[in-house]
A and B are shown apart, each in its own frame.
Chain A
Amino acid sequence: AQKITQTQPGMFVQEKEAVTLDCTYDTSDQSYGLFWYKQPSSGEMIFLIYQGSYDEQNATEGRYSLNFQKARKSANLVISASQLGDSAMYFCAMREVGGAQKLVFGQGTRLTINP
């Protein structure tokens, strides 16, 4: 079974609109961490935001926020006021306390921001 599922292969959004990228995960661990990364066409994976399983508040970093719904096992990334430079692949990843240091990634969502 897939540990990380990103159901949106591609999304198209108008500039300045907010966008939500979906991520659901599967784990039996009580302690785990969830990460979102951005990968522009250049290839580098850029860290965006982190949410720990015991964090009660949703994580926020500038225009990025993570909508964490533990009971539903979802960790959606919300980008407010999208910009043209946000066009990229976005990956959700999870690290489990029982998974050593392995980050397990989803298939990714390709986000395109239209002017």
Chain B
Amino acid sequence: ETGVTQTPRHLVMGMTNKKSLKCEQHLGHNAMYWYKQSAKKPLELMFVYNFKEQTENNSVPSRFSPECPNSSHLFLHLHTLQPEDSALYLCASSPGRGLGETQYFGPGTRLLVL
């Protein structure tokens, strides 16, 4: 596997379910990100991790819980979601914190909350 992978690619869940999204990067990067892309809204940053430490939480509701066990893996744990949380969730990674460092994205998980 190369680049950034995400599983599952599609997920349907009820509001009382608990599920997790997984992201893995094979690029040797030290920073990982979660973004949310809703219909008709710009891509929004949710969380940033650098060297496994969370360095940014963009006022995300607590029903989203990130976990970064190492620099290659990032999870997003979901519980008691709302229908408005239905969106494409994109994971990205970058070498580090440099201004010009490109963030490389995975294919995303399309989430539908019923």
Q: Which residues of A contact B (CB under 8 A)?
A: 4, 31-33, 35, 37, 42-47, 50, 52, 91, 93, 95, 97, 100-108
CA distance A102 to B110 in the complex (A): 22
CA distance A91 to B88 in the complex (A): 15
Question: Could you tell me how many residues of chain B have their Cβ less than 8 Å away from some Cβ of chain A?
Answer: 25
Given A33-B99, A52-B100, A106-B42: A101 touches B31 (CB 8 Å cut-off): yes
Q: Is B48 an interface residue (CB 8 A)?
A: yes
Q: Which of the candidate stretches B15-23, B69-77, B78-86, B101-109 sits at the interface with the other chain? A: B101-109
Q: What would 23 A/B residue contacts be, using CB atoms closer than 8 Å?
A: A33-B99, A37-B105, A43-B90, A43-B108, A44-B105, A44-B106, A45-B92, A45-B105, A52-B99, A100-B56, A101-B33, A101-B50, A101-B55, A101-B56, A102-B45, A102-B48, A102-B58, A103-B45, A103-B103, A104-B42, A105-B42, A105-B43, A108-B42
